[in-house]
Amino acid sequence: MKQRFYILIAAIAMATTTLDAQTDLKTETYTAYILNDVKRWENLTRRCEQQTDTTDIASLMSLIHCYYGYTMMLAEEKQHDAVERNIARAERYIAIVLAKEPNNAEAIDYSGVFTSYTVSLNRLKAPTLGKRSR
């Protein structure tokens, strides 16, 4: 009986920690977006990448979302080399998600978004990448 109680307490503590971490990520993402702060996006994305479990789809999707915001900011700042690096990283994570869940609509959508980022860097790629962005 006592052992079950401790297991229950541990489970509640772990669930609370996970929920707090998700809430913190959402809050930080929102703050980075509102403040339009590239450095904040960079720090958020790096931290999220370090904490991401690449076997967990939800965790990967959160990371991809961070890359989405960070890459958008870099594109606006015309930091093309960094944009290309982020696109490659994000596409790698998207590929992992789609390998596990080929019909994941959100991952498919992000794939199109990152393809459009690629086209924005070099408009000559539009004819060859255009179909991929749908």
User: Taking the domains of the chain in order of start, what are their residue ranges?
Assistant: 2-133
Which pLDDT does position 46 carry in this prediction? 92
Choice between 121 and 45, residue whose per-residue pLDDT is larger? 45
Q: In Å, what is the CA distance from 22 to each residue of 2, 27, 112?
A: 31, 9, 25
Rounded to an integer, what distance in angstroms lies between the CA atom of residue 129 and that of residue 104? 20
* pLDDT digit string, tens, across residues 67-123: 999 998 898 888 889 999 999 999 999 999 999 999 999 999 999 888 888 877 765
The structure's pTM equals 0.73
Choice between 8 and 77, residue whose per-residue pLDDT is larger? 77
Which pLDDT does position 36 carry in this prediction? 80
% of residues, the chain, pLDDT over 90: 37
* Alpha helix positions (H), the chain: 2-35, 38-51, 57-76, 80-100, 105-121, 126-129
Average pLDDT in the chain: 79
% of residues, the chain, pLDDT over 70: 73
pLDDT at 19 over 50: no
Rounded to an integer, what distance in angstroms lies between the CA atom of residue 16 and that of residue 18? 5
Which range among 56-60, 62-66, 92-96, 119-123 shows the weakest confidence by mean pLDDT?
A: 119-123
